Chain A
Amino acid sequence: MSGNTGMGIFAIFFAATFTSNILLTLYLGMCSFLAVSKQIKTAFGLGLAVIFVMTSTSIINWMIYQWLLIPFDLEYLRYIVFIVTIAAFVQLVEMVIEKTSEALYNALGIFLPLITVNCAILGVSLFMIIREYTLTQSVAFGAGSGTGWLIAIIAMAGIRQKIEKNRIPKGLEGAGIALIIAGIMSMAFMGFTGMIGLN
């Protein structure tokens, strides 16, 4: 599994954004993807918040895992530790933003609590451990995955706004049609496979 150590950070960034898009090929973060993709503006806000939290928590979790959990043989505690880190970090960011910038809080603040339960964040931390990334690789992976998520949700919101007034079979309204769109988008993203591998 140490084949990744030689991989450049740009390769990882682009692979995480396009070839193994966290949403369309790894299915992470679906809940908020389906719930918050009705408007481009809100989708963009949530996407930015995801990039920020994903990158920061992958750094923090990497440090905790490598410098605390491994030396003390506590790897099996990683699930609890990671989720607590993510929840605490999100809470902290929310408080800081609320105190310092009102505009930013109005734009991003409402999305932050949603992010704690976004499985993509925890997923990135878990993947980075399984793939044995170094710290810089983890940063690239976190940022790339976040960017990929942002691209996917914005594209989705754009398409959903377009088809809002179209006639759709009753049973497909809402989640059903969103999943079909996601499937087609996922096929489009499969076109990137083979450019850069990520395993």
Chain B
Amino acid sequence: MRKIKKITVANIGKNNPVFMQILGICSTLAVTNVLENTVVMCLGLIFVTALSNTTVSVLRKWIPSRIRMMVSTLIIASYVILVDIVLKAFVPDISRQLGPYVGLIITNCIIMGRAEAFALNNKPGISFVDGLTSGIGYSYVLLAIAFLRELMGSGTIWGIKVMGDWWVNWSIMVMAPGAFFMLAVFIWVVKGKLIKEETS
């Protein structure tokens, strides 16, 4: 139980995949201009990380170390196909908007990183927790960025207008540069805080 708590805290804070390890940036930037898409993407990612971590861990004694990357990639790809089919069936509009970025979950370094660094040396149960919490650590950063980008860029939250008529949309926020700036500022704030904590 203590181990679970330790992993959770690490994956959400000090060891966070997005702002501490700078992994999985592609999708962080690409899908965060609209909150709705981000939520779908995050759910997909949490599902894939948690289950692929578990699967790799279950099979860890039988995977030859020379081809372990290949095997984990295949495991991840199978789960991504599952996610893709489900999205196409239930939320076809969002699936079309996300386009290739669903498939690109395969090359999201977070998942591969967790499989390599954790699942290959740990039991399935704890690997599941690790995958799950890494996914959550990734998701809340994405959601925060998406929330701000949609709010500033379109004046809406979840497609509902919240800003009054006085608000002028920062259209740069929904375009590519806005994503880069937003993530940079996010990293700046979080890292600045951590540095302050360490020095005090």
**Which B residues lie within 8 Å of A26 (CB)?**
30
Segment of B6-14, B37-45, B105-113, B133-141 in the binding face: B105-113
Q: Are A126 and B103 in contact (CB under 8 A)?
A: yes
Whether B192 pairs with A169 at a CB distance below 8 angstroms is yes
Residues on the B chain within 8 Å of A130, using CB: 99-100
B55-63, B73-81, B118-126, B146-154 - interface stretch: B73-81
Complex Cα–Cα for A171 and B190 (A): 8
Check A169/B22 contact, CB under 8 A, given A80-B77, A122-B103: no
Tell which of B103, B176, B184, B195 touches A190, judged by Cβ atoms closer than 8 Å.
B176
Which B residues lie within 8 Å of A35 (CB)? Answer: 22
- CB of B177 within 8 A of CB of A27, answer no
- Using A117-B109, A171-B195 as known contacts, say yes or no to A180 and B181 having CB atoms under 8 A apart: yes
> What is the CA–CA distance of A162 and B193 in the complex, to the nearest angstrom?
27
Chain B neighbourhood of A79, CB < 8 A: 77, 80-81, 84, 103, 106
A27 close to B26 (CB less than 8 A):
yes
User: Are B181 and A122 neighbours in the complex by a CB distance under 8 Å?
Assistant: no
Q: What total of chain B residues lie within 8 Å of the partner, measured CB to CB?
A: 45
**Which residues of chain A are near B192, meaning CB under 8 Å?**
169-171
Interface size class of A (residues with CB under 8 A): 35 or more
CA distance A171 to B23 in the complex (A): 17
A171 to B184, CA, bound (A): 10
Instruction: Tell me if B183 is interfacial: C-beta within 8 Å of chain A.
Output: yes
Asked if A110 CB lies within 8 Å of chain B CBs, one says no
The main secondary structure of chain A at its interface with chain B is helix
B187-199 CB contact bits vs A (8 Å, 1 = yes)? 1111111010000
- Check B188–A122 contact: CB distance below 8 A: no
Judging by beta carbons under 8 Å apart, are B26 and A25 in contact?
Answer: no
Complex interface: stretch among A9-17, A49-57, A94-102, A181-189:
A181-189
**Which chain B residue shows the least CB distance to A175?**
B22
Question: What is the chain A residue whose CB lies nearest that of B184?
Answer: A179
A residues 71-112 touching B (CB-CB < 8 Å): 76-80, 82-84, 87
**A142 is an interface residue with CB less than 8 A from chain B:** no
Q: Which of A84, A117, A169, A182 makes the CB contact (< 8 A) with B188?
A: A169
In angstroms, how far is the closest chain A Cβ from the Cβ of B21?
9
CB closest chain-A residue, reference B183: A179
Residue in A78, A80, A119, A176 whose beta carbon sits within 8 Å of that of B26 in the complex = A119
Q: Are B177 and A187 in contact (CB-based, < 8 A)?
A: yes
- Give the chain A neighbours of B184 by CB distance below 8 A: 172, 175-177, 179-180, 183
**In contact, A122 and B22 (Cβ under 8 angstroms):** no
Interface CB pairs A-B, < 8 A, 22: A25-B176, A31-B22, A31-B24, A76-B84, A80-B78, A82-B103, A83-B106, A84-B73, A84-B74, A119-B26, A130-B99, A170-B195, A171-B188, A171-B193, A172-B187, A175-B184, A175-B187, A176-B188, A186-B177, A187-B172, A187-B177, A190-B176
Q: Which residues of B contact A (CB under 8 A)?
A: 22-27, 29-30, 69-70, 73-74, 77-78, 80-81, 84-85, 99-100, 103-104, 106-109, 112, 172, 175-181, 183-184, 187-193, 195
